[in-house]
Amino acid sequence: MDERVLRAFAVTAELGRLDLAARELGYAQPTVSYQIRSLENDLGVRLFLRSCNGMRLTSAGSAVLPTVRAVLLLLQSIRATTRPVDGLRAQPIG
């Protein structure tokens, strides 16, 4: 699972609409729709109920959302702890 896919899921869950999520993420709406379908296919469950009024989380989507948010926070934490300190560059591996 890709971080962008997880972020698209979380933002769409928060905003309840693909167009708003796409605008927030800086993507085209079809891209966000594809990312969510991809995640649903990976997990083998529907995460959203789609309607003309937007999108609502299914029970599976509600169950997955806290874990997705935790993963996104962990990734953010990893980035924060690996940023160069005081202008020093990180040493390459190998």
Q: Report all structural domains of the chain as residue ranges with CATH numbers, in order of start.
A: 3-69 (1.10.10.10)
CA 56 to CA 24: how far, in whole Å? Answer: 18
Give residue 12's pLDDT: 98
pLDDT in the model for residue 1: 81
For each of the chain's 94 residues, which pLDDT tens digit applies?
899 999 999 999 999 999 999 999 999 999 999 999 999 999 999 999 999 989 999 999 999 999 999 999 999 999 898 876 656 666 666 6
- Backbone φ and ψ of 48, nearest 5°: -130, 150
